[in-house]
Amino acid sequence: MSQTGDSKQACAETFNHDHKTCKQEALKKAEKLCLERGAQLTPIRHKVLELIWDSHEAVKAYDLLDRIKPFNDSAKPATVYRALDFLIEQKLIHRVESMNAFIGCNHVEGKHDLLLLICEGCRQIEERPATPVMDSLANELKQAGFTARRKTLEIHGICKHCADGAA
């Protein structure tokens, strides 16, 4: 049951919040961070970030391209991909590997190792720092002498909100 376009209704308990404010804050934070880092948050990069923050659902690159067209009809796939690369580099968004899609990062100032809980019902994704899990994972990697390039755990399932709704 997809509820695309109605993110307010689809808001899971953890996302039971004023998403407009949430999005504005995320964008403000990103602007501030880029300024501090001397990174160029160009209009197109800003627009891509804004579109990703439209909801807490993961967005695919080609959907972004569709959505960006009304604002910038010269936008090419490469433009969008370059903007995504920049946003990933700046740790403002996450790539959800298992879905080949992107979500906005809700803790841009924090550590970037994380747990993504992906709901198959409402399609919302909750990002959790899960420090104890990540610490023991780091420990395990150290013992194995393995250098991780990327450390994101993606878990698919049903969120509390959807489970309660089904009951």
- Binding residues for Fe cation are 113
User: Of 97, 94, 104, which is closest to residue 46 (Cα–Cα)?
Assistant: 104
Q: Are 134 and 151 in contact (CB under 8 A)?
A: yes
Residue 147 phi, psi (nearest 5): -95, 115
Task: State which residue, 64 or 119, has the beta carbon closest to Zn ion.
Answer: 119
Q: In what order do the strands lie in the sheet with 125-128?
A: 125-128, 114-119, 152-157
Annotated binding site: 113, 119, 122, 159, 162
Q: Are 26 and 17 in contact (CB under 8 A)?
A: no
**121 interacts with Zn ion by CB under 5 A:** yes
Annotated binding site for Zn(2+): 119, 122, 159, 162
**95 interacts with Zn ion by CB under 5 A:** no
Q: Which of 52, 103, 122, 134 binds Zn ion (CB under 5 A)?
A: 122
Stretch that binds Zn ion, among 39-47, 101-109, 130-138, 139-147 (CB under 5 A): 101-109
DSSP string computed for 48-77: HHHHHTTSSB-B-HHHHHHHHTTT-TT--H
**119 interacts with Zn ion by CB under 5 A:** yes
**96 interacts with Zn ion by CB under 5 A:** no
**58 interacts with Zn ion by CB under 5 A:** no
Stretch that binds Zn ion, among 1-9, 65-73, 74-82, 111-119 (CB under 5 A): 111-119
Q: How many CB atoms lie within 10 A of CB 51?
A: 21
**22 interacts with Zn ion by CB under 5 A:** yes
Task: State which residue, 72 or 120, has the beta carbon closest to Zn ion.
Answer: 120
